[in-house]
Amino acid sequence: MVEHGAAAPSQRARRRALSLVFMLVGVAVVVFAIVSQVNAPTAPGSAAGTIDPPQSTSASPSTSARPSASATGTTPQSSPRKSKSQKPTTQKPRTVKPRTEKPRTEKPGTEKATSRKTRTKSRPLLPPSKPVSISIPAIDLTSEVFAIGKAADGTLRAPEPGPDLNKVAWFEDSATPGQLGPVVLEGHVDTVEGRSVFFDLGRVRPGDEVTLKRKDGRTLSYTVDAVRSYPKSRFPTEAVYGGDISQSTLRLITCSDFDRRTRHHQGNLVVFGHLRTTAAGS
Amino acid sequence: MSLTPLAAQADDGDAMYRATLTELNGSGGSGSFMLTVDGDDATVEMNWNGLAETFKDGPFPHVQHIHIGGQGKCPTPSADKNGDDVISTPEGQASYGGIGTTLSVKGDTSAKSATDITIAPGGSSLDYKRTFKLNADTRSALKDGTGVVVVHGLDPSTMSKKAQKAKSPLVSSLPLAATAPALCGPISAAPTGGADTGTGSTSGIEHAGLFGLGGLLIAGGVLAGARLRKTAKAS
């Protein structure tokens, strides 16, 4: 005490205060870091649902005999957001199902055979008009949509840093909403800035509604048929960019399956849907 | 499917192509086209509707082709050089080129059968799937991005009086309406692989640096505190 005396009481108090401040600030920083953690994006709940199921209504002779009537019916102007109560009762509720469930009719052959037999004529749809916005009420998503093309190496470009980074992109060589064939849209699950527009895409379930607004002002409503995750090395190009081209279908693509070792997403999540028919949409 | 395993190893692998068909000459039709390459074979799936239904009390024949060697584009109204308000097939050729493959319902698929209406699909709509050997010219045009799908055959009642009376510039026994293009769609290869739509920033631990800084600060505080206690004890 005596030896250290000269410096002692006041200096010790200062040191003690300093060490306390250090600890407090340290704890504060750690708490902040914990609080600002973002949950990893949701993986699709199950392999439930069928990709491009044949549309039962198109098999009905009355529908295909009056193409113009059904064409106008594909553009319901009445609030599409009422959809939640209108989910087809045949669709399973949005519960997570065990992965052991076998995906139904994944083989294109069997699906095609059915759809081709029941379908007499595909219905005339709409003249081309690019999508300008998308809304998925089930995950509270709304976004502007911009057009994107292929890179020089033939891959699909992804939204780049800038004002469009966190918007949904429409692949410009795909169909526009309401044309025959797939409307292909993609969005980031996350970017260097954190979560992005399709962060919650894995929470979408069969039966959910996706609405697309076209440049000509029409709003079209699509029904989700299936949500799937694929390794990028086995990306199902034919199912995504093709599939059943006798109807207007929807594909929403984002990344999935992040690998911490490679620091890259190993997979793609794809939401498959089709244009809601008159019967289901009204 | 492929009987030629060696050819299946060809450089382009198994490519897939797509086209969205939109109306030409006010035909009112629309459609979709898909072509998958499997070795030497190509499988074409095609759906369209809204085209002319009948012709002389029979189903209206709609000859359809993959055109190649042009700009890989569909013609605009300015392609109508003779001012009859119809873009005839020759008038469209600067945009979409000549015929590479005939998309017939049976038999020959070469350019030779381009105007053979006996093997062309008929009626106002089509649900088509056919696998055939893809010729080299068409194959390379698809790779170059210069392939264009064209479906021909217009409802004469939608044409100008002058055009209604005109003969086909291709087959003199047919009216212009029979061979003028009604649907057109540039063919493009589907993107290869998946989509690069994530950085992983929300996977694992964010702000690893902050954790480090916080940890250092706490450790520093604890150390300083321990030293204080030590000196206190020593005294």
- Let me know whether A11 and A132 are in one domain: no
For residue A121, what pLDDT is reported? Answer: 44
**Amino acid in position A42:** T
Contacts of B95 (CB under 8 A, 6+ apart): B70, B71, B73, B74, B75, B76, B79, B148
Q: How far apart are CA A59 and CA A53, in angstroms?
A: 12
Report if residue A50 sits inside a domain. Answer: no
A149 compared with A125, residue with greater pLDDT: A149
Report CA torsion sign: A108, A109, A110, A115.
Answer: positive
- Chain A contacts of B27, Cβ < 8 Å? none
On the question of pLDDT at A6 being above 80, the answer is no
Whole-angstrom distance, CA of residue B61 vs CA of residue A71: 24
**What is the band of A68 on the pLDDT scale with cuts at 50, 70, 90?**
very low
Whole-complex ipTM: 0.80
Separation CA A81–CA B129 (nearest Å): 37
Check CB contact under 8 Å for A128 and B22.
Answer: yes
Q: Are strands A248-259 and A181-186 parallel, antiparallel or unpaired?
A: parallel
B208-219: average pLDDT? 78
Q: Going by DSSP bridges, is the β-strand pair B97-102/B64-69 parallel, antiparallel, or unpaired? A: antiparallel
Whether A102 has a pLDDT exceeding 80, the answer reads no
**How far is CA B74 from its chain centroid?**
12
Q: State the average pLDDT over residues A36-55.
A: 71
Per-residue burial over A34-53, b = 16 or more CB atoms within 10 Å of its CB, e = otherwise:
eeeeeebbbbbbbbbbebbb
Q: Which residue has the tokens 């794809």?
A: A270
Of B195, B199, B218, nearest to A156 by CB-CB distance is B195
Q: What is the pLDDT of residues B112-170, one digit of tens each?
A: 999 898 999 999 999 999 999 999 999 999 999 999 999 999 988 888 888 888 888 88
Measured between alpha carbons, how far is B114 from A263 in angstroms, rounded to an integer? 53
| pLDDT of the residue at B190 | 94
| Tens digit of each residue's pLDDT (9 = 90 or more) over A143-190 | 999 999 999 888 999 999 999 999 999 999 999 999 999 999 999 988
Cβ–Cβ gap B20/A181 under 8 Å: yes
Chain B hits for A275, Cβ within 8 Å: none
The span from the CA of A199 to the CA of B205, in Å, is: 16
Tens digit of pLDDT for each residue in B59-92? 999 999 999 999 999 999 889 888 888 999 999 9
pLDDT of residue A48: 66
Parallel, antiparallel, or unpaired for β B181-186 and B16-23? antiparallel
**In the structure, what pLDDT confidence band is assigned to residue A108 with cuts at 50, 70 and 90?**
very low
Q: Do A22 and B218 touch (CB under 8 A)?
A: yes
Q: pLDDT over 90 for what percent of chain A?
A: 40
| pLDDT average, residue stretch A243-269 | 86
Q: Residue B230: is its pLDDT beyond 80?
A: no
DSSP 8-state secondary structure symbol assigned to residue B175? B
Kindly determine whether residue A19 and residue B225, on different chains, have CB atoms separated by under 8 Å: yes
Q: How far apart are CA A233 and CA A21, in angstroms?
A: 52
- One domain, residues A81 and A122: yes
Residues A30, A140 share a domain: no
In DSSP terms, A181 is beta-bridged to: A248
* Chain A residues near residue B48 by CB distance under 8 angstroms: 122, 180
Residue B199 has what pLDDT? 73
Per-residue pLDDT at A56 = 56
Give a yes or no: residue A164 inside a domain: yes
Q: Mark whether A223 and A133 lie in a shared domain.
A: yes
Instruction: Give the whole-angstrom CA distance, residue B82 versus residue B174.
Output: 19
Q: Quick one: average pLDDT of A214-235? A: 93
Would you state the pLDDT for residue A106? 40
What per-residue confidence (pLDDT) applies to B7?
A: 34
Least confident window among A45-54, B100-109, B129-138: A45-54
Which pLDDT belongs to residue A19? 84
Name residue, tokens 């491009």: A52
Q: How many CA atoms lie within 13 A of A124 on its CB side?
A: 19
CATH code of residue A194: 2.40.260.10
Q: Which of A23, A194, A242 sits opposite B218 (nearest CB)?
A: A23
Is the pLDDT reported for residue B234 higher than 70? no
Could you tell me which CATH class the domain B5-189 is placed in?
A: mainly beta
Encode burial over A71-80: b for 16+ CB neighbours within 10 A, e otherwise.
bebbbbeeeb
Tell me, yes or no, whether A43 lies in a domain: no
Report how many domains make up chain A. Answer: 2
- State the pLDDT confidence band at A38, using cuts at 50, 70 and 90: low
- Which amino acid belongs to residue B219? A
Integer Cα distance of B33 and B46 in angstroms:
4
Task: Give the residue-averaged pLDDT of A215-236.
Answer: 93
For residue B60, the Cα-to-chain-centroid distance in whole angstroms is: 25
Query: Considering only CB atoms, which chain B residues are within 8 Å of A156?
Result: 191, 193-196
Q: Does residue A46 sit at the B interface (CB-CB below 8 Å)?
A: no
Domain ranges in chain B are 5-189
Provide the residue range defining the domain that includes A20: 1-37
In-domain check, residue A270: yes
The verdict on a CB contact (< 8 Å) between A265 and B200 is: yes
Q: A6 with A74, same domain?
A: no
Residues A87 and A162 in one domain: yes
CB B139 within 8 A of CB B78: no
Per-residue model confidence (pLDDT) at position B79: 92
- CA-CA-CA-CA torsion for A72, A78, A80, A85, nearest 10 degrees? -110
